[in-house]
């Protein structure tokens, strides 16, 4: 069996030398609560009641009312405390359906967009173990919030971040949570992460003109990619790619707004 890296991990420098080529259910259950963790944001936010499960349940109920049906996704959103991934000044907006800045010109996505993308991952013909996704690759860790959510719906998660400052911030946010099935990597997400391949699912938090061939090569049979992609006139749309019997099937869905997908590391 191929050895997997421990948390946190770092991409081999060899994989950074060349950029890859590219090619154009159940009802929500309120069971389960997030564990208590301590950091500076959470300590300040606790006075606002943001560490209460009621606040997250209200957010999840709004998402369910808006059409999110996947029980495992909704439960993950209830368990993971979004305010812990934000600066103190923004913590009181954590459970609003809005994107928020996380520094370095990046944002944390709206909860409804995150829920939509996770639900799409689980609607594919992905390999599942006990009702969960298998091994998942996330492109763009950001502050670490979506990576934490993925750890609740997948057996194993690899998350790559190209901006060193964000990688360090995500590591700081996630380390107290001791998530055993989550591995952080600092490197070029355009390259994917072949050491962990094949993946039953790949999800991206940045959009380019095409889906990198490296992602498709590292996708398992029956696997699915969910990512934003730039269309004409600079408009981005959510794209779903399925690998079925060795063939690639692409579906273009609704418009979205993500940061640009970039090669290399900063």
Residues that are catalytic: 109
User: From CA 182, how far away is CA 180, in angstroms rounded?
Assistant: 6
Tokens of 180: 């055993």
C-alpha 30: how far from its chain's center? 22
Question: In this structure, are strands 219-230 and 236-244 parallel, antiparallel, or unpaired?
Answer: antiparallel
259-260 and 206-207: which strand pairing? parallel
Nearest to 33 by CA among 78, 77, 92: 78
Q: How far is residue 263's CA from residue 241's CA, in Å, rounded to a whole number?
A: 21
Helix crossing, 111-122 with 71-79: angle to 10°? 140
User: Secondary structure of 149-175 in the HEC alphabet?
Assistant: HHHHHEEEEEEEECCHHHHHHHHHHHH
Mention every residue, 6+ apart, whose C-beta is less than 8 A from residue 161. 140, 141, 142, 167, 170, 184, 185, 186, 189
User: Look-up: residue for tokens 């938090």?
Assistant: 205
């Amino acid at each position: 069996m191929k050895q997997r890296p421990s948390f946190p991990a770092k991409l081999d420098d060899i994989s950074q030398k060349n950029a890859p080529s590219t090619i154009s259910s159940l009802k929500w259950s309120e069971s389960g609560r997030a564990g208590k963790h301590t950091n500076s944001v959470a300590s300040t936010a606790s006075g606002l009641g943001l560490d209460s499960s009621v606040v997250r349940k209200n957010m999840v109920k709004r998402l369910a009312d808006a059409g999110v049906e996947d029980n495992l996704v909704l439960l993950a959103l209830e368990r993971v405390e979004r305010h812990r991934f934000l600066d103190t000044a923004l913590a009181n907006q954590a459970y609003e359906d809005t994107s928020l800045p996380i520094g370095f010109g990046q944002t944390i996505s709206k909860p409804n967009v995150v829920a939509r993308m996770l639900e799409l991952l689980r609607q594919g013909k992905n390999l599942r173990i006990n009702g969960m996704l298998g091994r998942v690759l996330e492109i763009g860790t950001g502050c670490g919030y979506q990576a934490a959510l993925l750890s609740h719906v997948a057996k194993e998660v690899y998350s790559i971040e190209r901006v060193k400052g964000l990688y360090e911030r995500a590591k700081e946010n996630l380390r107290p949570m001791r998530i055993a099935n989550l591995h952080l990597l600092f490197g070029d997400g355009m390259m994917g992460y072949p050491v962990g391949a094949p993946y039953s699912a790949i999800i991206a938090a940045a959009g380019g003109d095409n889906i990198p061939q490296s992602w498709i090569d590292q996708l398992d049979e029956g696997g699915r990619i969910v990512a934003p992609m730039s269309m004409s006139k600079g408009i981005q749309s959510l794209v779903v790619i399925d690998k079925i019997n060795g063939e690639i099937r692409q579906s273009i869905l609704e418009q979205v707004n993500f940061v640009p997908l970039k090669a290399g590391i900063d």
